Amino acid sequence: MADVVSLAAEVRSRAGKGGAREQRRAGRIPAVIYGEKQDPLMIALDGADMLKQLRRPGFMTHVFEIDLKGRKERVLPREVQHDPVSGKPLHIDFLRFSASTKINVDVEVRFENEDRSPGLKRGGVLNVVRHTIELICKPDAIPEYVRVDLTGLEMGDVLHLDALTLPPGVEIGEDNPKATIASVAAPSTGEAAEPVADEEAETAEKTA
């Protein structure tokens, strides 16, 4: 799980588009905190601080602690609205959560140990089908990424969702456990034959 990031904010007293424009002119980004059967809370965040956070990988899976001059809210980003022309963030929705809250969230997949896959070493190609995987877990338990170990994979091997090892309290949020994550495919050319031939020649020299 990624570290919880603390952000200073202030409560917005003026609602509507006019109030939001006023905050943006002052260099702040308007936002709202909702959930847990509580009234929505309109807030404003420092624009420079939020731009730094938005540029970080996995922003939507990071837990934030919003500090409202002593009142603290643990939240998870759920939506970011951007200006269609400039791309600047216009508004952010945060979900308030409790110790019992569970959510569906898409988490990045990272493939490791390519150098330990015999199929890839022989010229095979890693065909990635899923770059993210939907998980169900508590916000505090969201993994920073899902690790996929390629050790031992041969040409033609296929990795499915049910082969993943997930942290405690985290489960797959998709209906098909046999959905393909990635496979090791044969190359489209005859390039893979050369390393094999070299290995055979080396073996013949040692046994001669």
Decide if 112 is inside a domain: yes
Residue scoring higher pLDDT (191 or 63): 63
Closest CA to 7 of 61, 60, 57, 47: 47
pTM (predicted TM-score): 0.77
Decide if 197 is inside a domain: no
List, for residues 171-208, the tens digit of each pLDDT value. Answer: 999 889 899 999 999 987 655 444 444 444 444 444 44
List, for residues 110-129, the tens digit of each pLDDT value. Answer: 999 999 999 999 999 999 99
Q: Is residue 112 located within the same domain as residue 177? A: yes
Decide if 86 is inside a domain: yes
List, for residues 74-124, the tens digit of each pLDDT value. Answer: 999 999 999 999 999 999 999 999 889 999 999 999 999 999 999 999 999
Q: Is residue 129 located within the same domain as residue 68? A: no
Please provide the average confidence, as pLDDT, over all residues in the chain: 88
Domain range for 23 is 5-96
3-state secondary structure of 145: coil
Q: Is residue 117 located within the same domain as residue 76? A: no
| Bridge pairing between strands 125-128 and 132-137 | unpaired
Show which of 96, 116, 132 is a domain's final residue: 96
List, for residues 29-54, the tens digit of each pLDDT value. Answer: 999 999 999 999 999 999 999 999 99
3-state secondary structure of 105: strand
Give first-to-last CA distance, the chain, whole Å. 55
- Say how many domains are in the chain: 2
